[in-house]
Chains A and B, each alone.
Chain A
């Protein structure tokens, strides 16, 4: 089973509280926030590696990012992916999800033409920074494969390589169980698995694995459909929502605090049930 995995380098989400907007330039200031592989994309790689262990084939990771994205793709190779493609060119920048997914589709098609078509393309369900969750569906639609997002479990049956997968999608009232015919694009949620750790051996091996860089010269494309020009949405002003509140402190012994808390709680209109027997919540 040949599997492509879409991987986006993102600023470390643990540090988003430190991101600010420069009051003068109105630009984003994210200095000092390091990049990591988007958390959900690691789950996509993990799922791909498990399928490869079962059915054979190869796992190719694709990332569209500035040149320093190379390091993040090397991490994916160290984790166990077989090949990497960095899609990188200034002209790809400023892309919205439609232009991003168009560009990724072109890269997937080029790689498939050279090294065999993909049976499955896995993506994270959403990126930590932009978090639109649109790229899996838009890649699927543009490449012409079946596609589903929000997947929390993939069942591949046993023995021979499947032509259909059973997948479970998280939805508001529970889970939808679908079958999806391959080739397909699937966006996986972080609930799907716990990604493996990278071994020291993996890091050494990663440097010897095939690594391609696609740019506007070697990647065939329609220049009206990439970057800013290919993006029907345009970004305007940015601002930071003000979520500050008065932050009044209650202190004392736990008992004293509890006494005061109950008063404050009542003032909010919350209804206390005597005896704590509110089982029909």
Chain B
């Protein structure tokens, strides 16, 4: 009998399904192999969409490789409202009792998951870097602490669902064969729910003139050692020599306003990236940053301090002044 259900939050991303859903589904599919081996039957993989999921989003969910798509509908669910969304999801969880509920650590996920934890009185593991079922059938969630320097295993032994959020960009998407998922409509009772406490007035979408760092194949990343605005432009110039490239930054570079787009910060409180090539200049290598780049294929670092921590995590190390090296590199690239 298939009595276990794995729920995956299918967040709306401007009419499409947020990519975190597909990453989580791929992981859930992997976990499911262990569940099948241990229980004799796999868990049901369920996409959970709240609000008026459009046709395009519905189609991609049905074809995503999930078994079931829960479509939660209601008049108060047209616009994102964390308290109403959480209530709707709570009612679905009470009706269906999922075994595991996964969310991307997006702004929505990090608001809703802990709220559900309170409403359902269960555990929530935050920003997991890995998930697995161990030999005894426990759902083990690896959570980072101290900026990623330490990873701790977390289990939720006595309560359901076992809720986890996962940082987007960490799990790779495997294309799964479509199972033409069954669509189940769910209408929560929201008459009593106050929807005026929090109101989404406007969404200010930031226009970007380059690829988001988590989609880039080449990242030229600058840190506090870049020193000033003028030097920062050098990163842009070097990035311009590469296809599918982006300029990334560390926290101090953002604080100094050299980098203007918070979305380009890499690390614990920023993005997790996995480019083919990462070049870091003037970066010390704090774990808060390193944990966001450690899946890069190739890491080159430039730092004037030969003992900089970042070198330990680098394939190639260059001890020297970042401005001089990048200027020479730019000149050399111009001859290509």
Contacts and interface: CB of A to CB of B under 8 A. Distances in A.
Interface of A: 11, 13-14, 16-17, 19, 21, 28, 96-98, 101, 126, 128-135, 137-138, 140-142, 146-150, 166, 168-181, 184, 189-191, 231-241, 243-251, 254-255, 257-259, 261-262, 264-265, 268-279, 281
Given A178-B200, A236-B154, A249-B319, A132 B126 contact: yes
B114 A17 contact: no
B307 to A, nearest CB: 12
26 contacts: A13-B147, A16-B288, A17-B287, A131-B126, A132-B126, A134-B126, A148-B198, A150-B111, A168-B204, A171-B108, A174-B204, A175-B206, A180-B197, A189-B269, A232-B159, A233-B123, A243-B290, A243-B291, A245-B314, A247-B317, A248-B317, A249-B318, A258-B328, A261-B318, A270-B276, A273-B242
Interface residues of B, number: 110
Given A232-B159, A236-B154, A245 B107 contact: no
A281 B211 contact: yes
A33 to B, nearest CB: 9
Contacts, number: 311
B151 to A, nearest CB: 6
Contacts of B228: none
Given A236-B153, A268-B276, A269-B276, A243 B313 contact: yes
B198 A180 contact: yes
A271 B242 contact: yes
B200 A176 contact: yes
Contacts of B82: 147-148
Given A169-B107, A275-B334, A249 B317 contact: yes
Contacts of A14: 286
A78 to B, nearest CB: 23
Instruction: Say whether chain B's binding surface is mostly helix, strand, loop, or mixed.
Output: mixed
A262 to B, nearest CB: 6
B148 to A, nearest CB: 7
Interface string B125-146: 1110100000000001001111
Given A233-B154, A238-B153, A273-B243, A131 B268 contact: yes
Interface of B: 13-14, 18, 80, 82-83, 106-108, 110-111, 113-115, 117-119, 121-127, 129, 140, 143-159, 168, 196-206, 209-211, 216-218, 237, 239-246, 254, 262-263, 268-269, 276-277, 285-288, 290-291, 294, 297-300, 309, 311-320, 324-325, 327-334, 336
